[in-house]
Amino acid sequence: MLQEQGQAEKRKEVSEKTAKELVLKQADIATRKVKVDEDLGKAEPALLAAQESVSGIQSKQLNELRAYTTPPAAVKVALEPVIALITKTAAKPEWKDVKIWLRRDDFIRSIMNFDKDDISPAVKVFLMNNYLNDTTAFDPARIAKASRAAGPLALWVKSIVEYSEIFHSITPLRNELKGLEAEEARMLAKQRELDAEIVHLEASIEDLKLEFAGLIAKVENIKNDMKTVQAKVARSVQLLANLSSERVRWEESSKNFVNQMSCLVGDCLFAAGFLTYIGFFDHYYRKYLQSEWRDTIDQVSLKMRQEMKFVEFLSSPSERLEWEKQGLPDDELCIENAIIMLNYNRYPLVIDPSDQAPKFITTHYAKQKI
């Protein structure tokens, strides 16, 4: 982007320099044009007036000229240079050739449409030496007295030759003007090219700026994402550190799982005996029976956990909390009785001198409307 900005600035400097040079060049061209127009302006009005006089020649006046077998000298000296100009010939025409041109329908039109800038130097020198330099013989005013048609034609010859003289005298100036105009066109083309290149570079710079802004926005988003990730990582590390104690417990539980699986049959048999038979006895006999059953299970070579507790094996902590809310005392004997009662296939006989069981049972079975 910086490189293209530098290129655009250089192109602008070149364009501004070219524009200044162009202004100077255009001023020079305007000055030269004024000079050319001034020089041509000296002869052009007379030529236009002469052309207007020629256009006013009537057919009757031309017929008078056509009728001459041997024309007067004034008529001859007026018409010969006209034919020499029209035919672009540096030689005196015969009168019969002059009459041929006079009889043509486009004679006047040929004079009116004659290219005033296309007179060869040879023809011009011939006309000057043989006609125009002799101001006594070639006097348009005197010729007009001899013939009303020949006078305007002589004036046209004189005016157009004088115009041609001035036109060719300023040829170097006109050539220089053409060169200046060509240089102006070249500079204009160069300036347009530079301006187009500047526009292209500026558009490219704008595109790069937008792209750069987009990249900056992406970088900011990445930074924000990095901050978010870093915060999450920090929280994760903290969480792992906080769970280190739990990890120890989980590892212990995992180690004990194999032992629990190997003791599953014995534990289930021990729990089944508890649910089936032990409900009839008090706390003392319950402990006694448990001790006897452990010995019996051991004798038949079944493994069981010596530290197994019926309360933890046959109920979950959430169930015990719910029972406590429902009015069950939190001592071990009451919880064992609740487990036995809830796992009976038939309604058990409940003997409760403290009257705590009815309150728990009615609350626990409230949905059954007991």
Domain termination site, one of 164, 181, 198: 181
pLDDT digits (tens, 9 = 90+) for 173-188: 556 666 666 776 777 7
Q: Is residue 232 part of a domain?
A: no
Residue 276 and residue 176 share a domain: no
Domain termination site, one of 181, 203, 236: 181
Band of residue 44 on the pLDDT scale cut at 50, 70, 90: low
pTM of the model: 0.41
Q: Is residue 195 part of a domain?
A: no
Q: Is residue 316 part of a domain?
A: yes
Residue 298 and residue 177 share a domain: no
* CATH of residue 104: 1.20.920.60
Count: domains in the chain: 2
pLDDT digits (tens, 9 = 90+) for 300-320: 888 887 777 878 878 888 988
Band of residue 2 on the pLDDT scale cut at 50, 70, 90: low
Domain termination site, one of 131, 159, 181: 181
Residue 267 and residue 166 share a domain: no
Residue 227 token pair: 């901050």
Per-residue confidence (pLDDT) for residue 42, from 0 to 100? 57
Q: Is residue 226 part of a domain?
A: no
Per-residue confidence (pLDDT) for residue 347, from 0 to 100? 67
Is the predicted pLDDT of residue 330 greater than 60, yes or no? Answer: yes
* CATH of residue 350: 1.20.920.20
Q: What is the mean pLDDT of the chain?
A: 78
Domain ranges, residue 292: 259-364
Residue 57 token pair: 């020649």
pLDDT digits (tens, 9 = 90+) for 114-171: 887 788 888 888 888 998 888 888 888 888 888 888 888 888 888 888 777 776 666 5
Contact at 8 Å (CB) between 17 and 9?
no
Residue 12 and residue 158 share a domain: yes
Residue 154 and residue 264 share a domain: no
Per-residue confidence (pLDDT) for residue 173, from 0 to 100? 56
Q: How far apart are CA 22 and CA 246, in angstroms?
A: 88
Highest mean pLDDT among 189-193, 248-252, 294-298: 294-298
Q: Is residue 80 part of a domain?
A: yes
If one compares 235 and 32, the residue with the highest pLDDT of the two is 235
Cβ-based neighbours of 163, under 8 Å, separated by 6 or more: 40, 43, 44, 46, 47, 116
Per-residue confidence (pLDDT) for residue 294, from 0 to 100? 84
If one compares 273 and 6, the residue with the highest pLDDT of the two is 273
pLDDT digits (tens, 9 = 90+) for 64-109: 888 888 888 888 888 888 888 888 888 999 988 888 888 888 888 8
Angstrom CA distances, 117 to 53, 124, 164, stand at: 20, 12, 6
3-state secondary structure of 72: coil
CA 11 to chain centre: 22
Q: Is residue 309 part of a domain?
A: yes
